[in-house]
Amino acid sequence: MPYRLKQLQKQLPTVHLVAVSTCVFILGLTLMLLPSENVEATRGDLPMAAPAQSIESSDTATAPSSAETSTASTEESTQKKETIATPPSVEENWVDYTIGSGDNLTSMFKKAGFTARDVYNVATAAKASESFTRLFPGQVLSFLITDGELTKLRHRQSELKHTLLTKTDDGFKVDIIERKPDIEHKYTAGTIQDSLFLAGEDAGLSSKKIMELASIFGWDVDFVLDIRKGDSFSLIYEEKFLNGKKIGEGPIIAAQFINRGSKFTALRYTNADGESSYFTPEGYSMRKAFLRAPVGFARISSRFSLNRKHPVLNRIRAHKGVDYAARTGTPIKAAGDGKIIFRGKKGGFGNVVIVQHGSNITTLYAHMSNFKRGQKTGNRVQQGQVIGFVGQTGLASGPHLHYEFRVNGVHKNPLTVKLPQALPIAESERSTFKSTASSLLAQLETYQATTLAALDTQKL
């Protein structure tokens, strides 16, 4: 018995050590399997006798890295700095004045209660930009006054542009602020029953947009002579939006006009130099060297004829031009680029302008009520530029334009003469143009197909 007891006493340290080691192992394994929050909460209760390896494993699995701690601290610091640096918003009380007819900077400052000295200071500061010297009716001039002094002045030229003048310790500082609108494409189409204007209005087009459409096709279609009932048009143009509100219209980017069965297609293209014009899908310019008619939307009262009876002289006299009846004062445009070689009175023609185009073509415009101011013989004019106004000077029974077209001194019928074409797309632009043209045509055809499908559905 004593012998067994001695043996047990010798074995106790070993048994005790095995038991303790087993307990520590189980405890470490349990901690590793616990969620990270529990590990963090339990770590402080770990016994000092726990193996170092178990504690290191636990730390690696749960403790955030030094980089994460640094990032969190930086973000928190930044948030605090931003919060401290942001001042409370101060409401500015602007006083607006709408510019009227005849107003200038002096009259506007007087309305706001400022002196001529204030006007001088502002005009001097804004001299470089001319923003405050060119004021137009309908624009808005806004004043910000603090303690009786002008601290800011804003000239709102449009919804997209305004000029801001701010008082500083060194005088006034000028800032021109421009905003870019959102551009959306608008499609519309119409069929002519009475006139292009009425059909355009029915299609939702503004008068300006109708005139733009007519000018694009004006070299191929005479909108006085050629229009027929059933002719149709379709077009895509830009609309401008700011903060979801429509603020204006952009140019037509693609259009088609069907006149008496003939289809004309025009695509807008801007070249590498930033110049925009309209071309056929094949790359030929829609623009001819001459306008077919120098007066917009007038009525032909007399055609080219060698056997016409003169309405005033009452005898047969060749009529070597075309007469366009229109109201007195209707603008007359140069049919093509050229130089004025005569400007004055010329017998029965009354007030006349003759323009030389190149070396062999001249155009004559007669019976004008007045000439365009600022022009004289020898001045160069561009196609579409106003050169005078419809009247009935000379031998004329009513207000109209008598228009002649001469080639090498020989009179030609302005309504049928073949007009020379303007230059096509440059070879260096061909590849880019084809890509643009393909995209525009696809848009136009998609819109047309969708519209036709909608109309067919309505009929059903």
pLDDT at 421: 73
State both tokens at 344. 């004055």
184-238 residue pLDDT tens: 999 999 999 988 999 999 999 999 999 999 989 988 887 877 789 999 999 999 9
State both tokens at 253. 């980017």
pLDDT band for 26, please (50, 70, 90 cuts). Answer: low
Domains 94-178 and 182-279 share a fold: yes
Whether pLDDT at 45 is above 80: no
60-72 residue pLDDT tens: 344 444 444 444 4
pTM above 0.75, yes or no: no
Q: Which residues contact 144 (CB under 8 A, 6 or more apart)?
A: 92, 93, 94, 95, 150, 151, 152, 153, 154
Question: Rounded to an integer, what distance in angstroms lies between the CA atom of residue 210 and that of residue 223?
Answer: 12
pLDDT band for 54, please (50, 70, 90 cuts). Answer: very low
Query: Which residue matches tokens 């355009």?
Result: 200
In CATH, the number for domain 94-178 is 3.10.450.350
Q: Are 300 and 225 in contact, with CB atoms under 8 Å apart? A: yes
pLDDT at 215: 87
Amino acid at 319: H
pLDDT band for 25, please (50, 70, 90 cuts). Answer: low
**Topology of domain 182-279, CATH:** Nuclear Transport Factor 2; Chain: A, (3.10.450)
Gyration radius (Cα) of the chain, Å: 42
Q: Nearest-CA neighbor of 243 among 164, 163, 179, 154?
A: 179
- H or E stretch at 21: helix 2-33
Domain ranges of the chain: 14-62, 94-178, 182-279, 299-412
Cα-Cα-Cα-Cα dihedral sign, residues 324, 326, 328, 333: negative
291-316 residue pLDDT tens: 888 998 778 888 876 655 545 555 55
Total count of residues recorded for the chain: 460
415-458 residue pLDDT tens: 888 887 778 898 999 999 999 999 999 999 999 998 877 766 76
CATH class as words, domain 299-412:
mainly beta
Question: Rounded to an integer, what distance in angstroms lies between the CA atom of residue 261 and that of residue 218?
Answer: 17
275-296 residue pLDDT tens: 899 999 999 998 888 888 899 8
316-367 residue pLDDT tens: 557 889 999 999 999 999 999 999 999 999 999 999 999 999 888 999 999 9
